[in-house]
Amino acid sequence: MGSSRKFVFILAGVSFIVIVPLIVFLGTSRFGSNGASREVRVERGAIDAHFAAGGRVEGATSQEIKLAARTFGRLLEVSVNDGDPVHKGQVVAVLENRDAQGRVDEARAGLARSQAALEKLLNGARPEERSAAKAEMDEAQAGAQNARQQFERVQKLFHEGGIVSQAALDQAERDLKATQARLESLKQRYQLIMAPPRTEDVAAARADVEVARARVTQAEDYYDNTFIRSPVEGVVVKRFMNPGESISYESLYQPVITVTDTTHMTVRAEIDETDIGKIQVGQRAEIHCDAFPGRTFSGRVVRISGGLGKKNIRTDNPLEKVDTDVLESFVEVEPGTPLRVGLRVDLYFPLERKENVLVIPRRAVEMMDGVAQVRVKFAAGVSQVPVRVGIQDGLNIEIAEGLKEGDVVVY
């Protein structure tokens, strides 16, 4: 749509008005941002064909790991905060546990008593006790022999002429029986001391030890449940509770903190449905993100989901299509990168690389009736030239036929 503008010229003291048409061009596909067309010389170079996808950095496990208490109580300590690194097995929170520690000590003392009783039963009497029992038995045997000899003398004297009375004979007989009874008692005691323990007594003592050991295990498990440990090498994603808060029946399974495994980082990539035929396990990928401008990180595809799904990763681009189906793929990032969990990244998957080919900006190519064309500057002016294109990398495109090195393209 044209419009007119009036310019006033003064020549030799005479003024007159000239009306000059001013043309306003609609559309900027052939012009730069300042409204002027651009020129570029066709040159040889290298070009990498690839396709791009958006993604988000995750830990080795795609889901956050919720760490909750396994018993009731009051939180004594929470030693980590959001973003802190944690090691596998590290204690990140502790419940009040003095009573639990007391139960452990009591159970261990009971186990020690049971083990001592079993050892005493298995070992039998001490050598000193055995020696003392043998000495007492020998002494009783000697006394019994003396008592028998005394009884036999008194008995002989009684029958030979009544030299001793019946009362003396009866007393000698009672003394003999008493010493024999004492000897028999000491013999049984000595045999009991020297005999091995009975099978049923040993079995009962061993059972007591096992019961005591089970009580120790139970007490130690209860005590261990007062400690919350990280099951992975990773980083704290979120801290939910603070020291002094209570763990009740209702909140028993609520997380105290959440962590994610960072032994290796993974990018969950969403591949557009038009590109799903271009990706495969083992394929290399370049990773870029705004947090580290100018830096490129490497990774490889380790897993591809079995089917298409809805897009979950959003960018700040208002023109982004959110209703397209995508294929989730997982790219393992090379170790040692500074990428953090939750970062949004861009992934570029290389498909093909060509060296020493003619390359021009992709914007310089126009499609007209299915034919690729470029505007080439000649001495007589600018003309449309049909070309055959090759691979492109998003910014540049290969010209397979139609142009030669040194041609000037206008766009």
- Reading phi first (left if > 0) and then psi (alpha if -120 to 50, else beta), residue 70 is in alpha
CB-count exposure of residue 385 (10 Å: 0-12, 13-18, 19+): middle
Residue 359 pLDDT class (50, 70, 90 cuts): very high
Residue 10 pLDDT class (50, 70, 90 cuts): very low
Q: 45: which 2 tokens?
A: 């170079």
Q: Which of 200-204, 248-252, 402-406 has the least mean pLDDT? A: 248-252
Q: For residues 252 and 75, give the distance between their C-alpha atoms in angstroms, rounded to a whole number.
A: 12
Residue 206 has pLDDT above 80, yes or no: yes
Residue 49 pLDDT class (50, 70, 90 cuts): confident
Q: For residues 109 and 219, give the distance between their C-alpha atoms in angstroms, rounded to a whole number.
A: 12
Any idea what the CATH number is for the domain that residue 368 is in? 2.40.30.170
In a domain, 85, yes or no: yes
Q: How many residues does the chain have?
A: 411
Residue 320 pLDDT class (50, 70, 90 cuts): low
Report pLDDT digits (tens) over 138-176.
Answer: 888 998 999 999 999 888 888 887 788 888 888 989 999
Q: Is 272 within 8 Å of 55 (Cβ atoms)?
A: no
Do residues 130 and 174 share a domain?
Answer: yes
Q: Is 313 within 8 Å of 344 (Cβ atoms)?
A: yes
Do residues 187 and 233 share a domain?
Answer: no
Characterize 294-327 residue by residue with b for buried, 16 or more Cβ atoms within 10 angstroms of its Cβ, and e for exposed: eeebebebeebeeeeeebebeeeeeeeeeeeebb
Do residues 323 and 401 share a domain?
Answer: yes
Rounded percentage of the chain residues whose pLDDT exceeds 70:
87
Do residues 298 and 324 share a domain?
Answer: yes
More confident residue, 234 or 364: 364
Q: Is 359 within 8 Å of 44 (Cβ atoms)?
A: yes
Residue 216 has pLDDT above 80, yes or no: yes
User: Residue 360's CB: how many other CB atoms inside 10 A?
Assistant: 23
In a domain, 19, yes or no: no
DSSP helix/strand/coil, 29: coil
Residue 317 has pLDDT above 60, yes or no: no
Do residues 286 and 401 share a domain?
Answer: yes
Do residues 252 and 205 share a domain?
Answer: no
Q: Is 85 within 8 Å of 176 (Cβ atoms)?
A: no
More confident residue, 408 or 25: 408
Provide the residue range defining the domain that includes 135.
104-220
In a domain, 35, yes or no: no
Backbone angles phi, psi at 2, to 5 degrees: -95, 160
Residue 158 is predicted with a pLDDT of 85
pTM, two decimal places: 0.52
Q: For residues 393 and 342, give the distance between their C-alpha atoms in angstroms, rounded to a whole number.
A: 27
Do residues 272 and 364 share a domain?
Answer: yes
Do residues 215 and 310 share a domain?
Answer: no
Backbone angles phi, psi at 248, to 5 degrees: -105, 180
- Number of domain units in the chain: 3
Which residue reads 């040889």 in tokens? 44
CA-based nearest residue to 327, from 342, 316, 315, 312: 312
Report pLDDT digits (tens) over 285-299.
Answer: 989 988 898 898 989
Q: For residues 37 and 17, give the distance between their C-alpha atoms in angstroms, rounded to a whole number.
A: 31
In a domain, 5, yes or no: no
Report pLDDT digits (tens) over 86-97.
Answer: 999 999 999 999
Residue 12 has pLDDT above 60, yes or no: no
Residue 358 has pLDDT above 80, yes or no: yes
Do residues 390 and 347 share a domain?
Answer: yes
In a domain, 41, yes or no: no
Do residues 154 and 209 share a domain?
Answer: yes
- Reading phi first (left if > 0) and then psi (alpha if -120 to 50, else beta), residue 32 is in beta
Q: For residues 342 and 73, give the distance between their C-alpha atoms in angstroms, rounded to a whole number.
A: 33
Do residues 233 and 211 share a domain?
Answer: no
Q: For residues 237 and 212, give the distance between their C-alpha atoms in angstroms, rounded to a whole number.
A: 42
In a domain, 12, yes or no: no
Residue 401 pLDDT class (50, 70, 90 cuts): very high
Residue 210 pLDDT class (50, 70, 90 cuts): very high
Do residues 392 and 283 share a domain?
Answer: yes
Any idea what the CATH number is for the domain that residue 86 is in? 2.40.50.100
Q: For residues 228 and 210, give the distance between their C-alpha atoms in angstroms, rounded to a whole number.
A: 29
DSSP helix/strand/coil, 122: helix
Residue 13 pLDDT class (50, 70, 90 cuts): very low
Report pLDDT digits (tens) over 173-197.
Answer: 999 999 999 889 888 888 777 777 7
Q: What is the mean pLDDT of the chain?
A: 82
In a domain, 286, yes or no: yes
Q: For residues 313 and 149, give the distance between their C-alpha atoms in angstroms, rounded to a whole number.
A: 112
In a domain, 329, yes or no: yes
Residue 360 pLDDT class (50, 70, 90 cuts): very high
